[in-house]
Amino acid sequence: MRAGKRHEGKIIPLSISVGVALAPLHASNPTELMLLADLALYESKAAGRGRVTVFDEEMLSDKRYRRLVERELRAAVYLGELELHYQPIVGTEGSIDALEGLIRWRHPVRGLISPAEFIPIAERSTLIDMIGEWVFKRACADIGHFPGRRISINVSGEQLKRDEIVTMCERVLRETGRSASGFIIEITETVATAATPEILRRLEALRGLGFHIALDDFGTGHCGFNYLKTLPIDSVKIDRSYIRSLAHDQVAQIFVSALTQIARIQHIAIVAEGVETAEEFTLARTAGCGRFQGYFFGKPAPRDKTSALCAADGEPLALSA
């Protein structure tokens, strides 16, 4: 819709863009209705402005949907909708050695949203830096509830493309009074294989602060054993696909055994991911793995529930799981 306003003898063109969502056709919840109307408004502006657009389902796809999620996610950081859940990482006797912090988004309308849905969207902008800082601050606030255990946090490859990751960690440690030695930074195998000299420099800087560096999902891509000598890492997490195959796949058996032997020489800890049964735990331990993570020991849970689990960690966890 377009109009004009006269000012000092001149007509100044004005326009208005409108987005419309109807209840109960599109949504019945007022909050969700406003979000859908806002999405329709974006469509009005993208189509040239000066028009009214009614919401339709196609607007929830691709770029428009990403824009909506970005906006909601940014607000979620400030509104306290993000949570950090913790999953145990245990030693050979089943006692909890560390915990992996895993982000969750509890949306007021759509419920619990998987990080697989919103993290890739956040990585397309510097929003991932904001979320990464939130995660680290939350972990620093929570670590006192887990005495004697490290907290492992995931760092995106996008964060490592900027020096801000190092300055942010230094600042948060200073503000919270925490020690970097209480935390493990996890990077994926994909990040490791594509690491530039600048990314390696930042990893070295983080390690220099006292962080332990873990290589996650090892075995899923093109990260060969030679990377164990060249990357600044302290531990390797074997992808769950190998752990699931240990009982029947000779290749998986040889791979895990060889990895554990090389890691022992390099003084690198090996974590078996995705352990879901007593048999997998036994086989991974026999193959030489020293730490273990998976549903057999516990699913990701809120801080208080995990803290209670740590407090009751008197008997080997695997035996009571």
Mean pLDDT of all residues in 215-234: 82
- pLDDT 10s digits, 166-201: 999 999 999 999 999 999 999 988 888 888 999 999
- pLDDT 10s digits, 37-76: 877 877 776 666 678 888 877 776 666 778 888 889 999 9
Alpha-carbon Rg for the chain in angstroms = 24
pLDDT of residue 308: 92
Instruction: List 212's β-bridge partners, or say none.
Output: 184
Q: CATH 3.20.20.450 in the chain: give the residue spans.
A: 80-320
Of residues 164 and 2, more confidently modeled: 164
CATH of domain 80-320: 3.20.20.450
Q: Which pLDDT band holds residue 5 (cuts at 50, 70, 90)?
A: low
- pLDDT 10s digits, 148-162: 999 999 999 999 999
| 241-247 own/partner pairs: CB under 8 Å, 24+ apart | 241/274, 243/272, 243/273, 243/274, 243/275, 243/280, 243/283, 243/284, 243/294, 244/274, 244/276, 244/280, 246/280, 246/283, 246/284, 246/287, 247/279, 247/280, 247/283
pLDDT of residue 35: 76
